[in-house]
Amino acid sequence: MWSGLLLPITMTKQGSQYWTKFLGIFLSILPSVGLAQSQVLVHITSNDMDAAVYADSLYLGLVRGSPYWIESTAEMISLSTLRPAAWSMPPLQAPIEAKPGDSVYVTLNFPMYHRIESHPFGADAWLQQGSERRFLGVTPVVFSSADVYKGMFYIELEGYTPGIIEPKTELWNRYQVSLTALSPANQHQGMSRTVSRQRRWIDWSASAVAVVAGVVAVHYKFRADRINDEYQETGDASLRPRVARLDDYSGIALGVMQAGLVTLAVRFILD
């Protein structure tokens, strides 16, 4: 068979050059053919074409660059979204079971996340789909869906006009709704609830600081007293700087505790 092919090629100098070029190309692709036979070709599809693809811990590229050759020993394909707004979304994973030379098809679709916020907070969030009505939670609320919602979001709070939102189609969707009060009194109440929530955080923070600072002050004071007693017994002058330093630490912590208590007192008087 080969002699029939070689005959016309070796008849001329031009034919000989052609054969040499062909042989070089053939030999150059042999290693890649052998490599492909020891690997698995993975085709990946996703609803995020710009997600990063990993075979175990090895970065391969983006979904849009699929398919990829991976080692047949790889056990897992992972996708991680690179969208800044969706940084908290966990990666998706799929196990790989294939023999060398096989082609594998993997589909990994990220769920769609929705965060609904309202002013005032504490409103009921509902999904209305035709005649069906589903309670989602109390604002601020975060929930996920496998696909795009077909319907409308309703944000309802007693004394306020309901807010209506059309679902978005991104992987991470944020909605902010300002509810309109039915009367000026309700509007004032809504503002008071928001301010009250912020004030509670101040109260809790001041309380925590006062307690922690008080514990630290007592701790350093006890240590200073113990070292001072040792100094009184031994007369070791090197202990005096340590006593002074611990007394300073205790005094600073005591001052922080007093500041926290003063803050709580002022807050109590203003409320």
Percent of residues, the chain, with pLDDT higher than 70:
76
Is 7 a residue whose pLDDT tops 50? no
Each residue's pLDDT tens digit, 234-259 = 777 777 787 788 778 878 888 888 88
Q: Give the list of residues 6+ apart from residue 243 with CB closer than 8 angstroms, or none.
A: 224, 227, 228, 231
| The pLDDT value given to residue 130 | 85
Alpha-carbon torsion, ordered 207, 213, 216, 217, to 10 deg: -120
Closest residue by Cα to residue 242 from 256, 229, 257: 229
Q: How many CA atoms within 13 Å lie on the side-chain side of 265?
A: 7
Longest pairwise C-alpha distance within the chain: 112
CATH class for the domain made up of 112-181: mainly beta
**Looking at residues 44-60, what average pLDDT do you find?**
92
Instruction: For residue 65, give the DSSP letter.
Output: G
| The pLDDT value given to residue 236 | 75
Global model pTM greater than 0.85: no
> Where are the domains positioned within the chain?
2-107, 112-181, 184-270
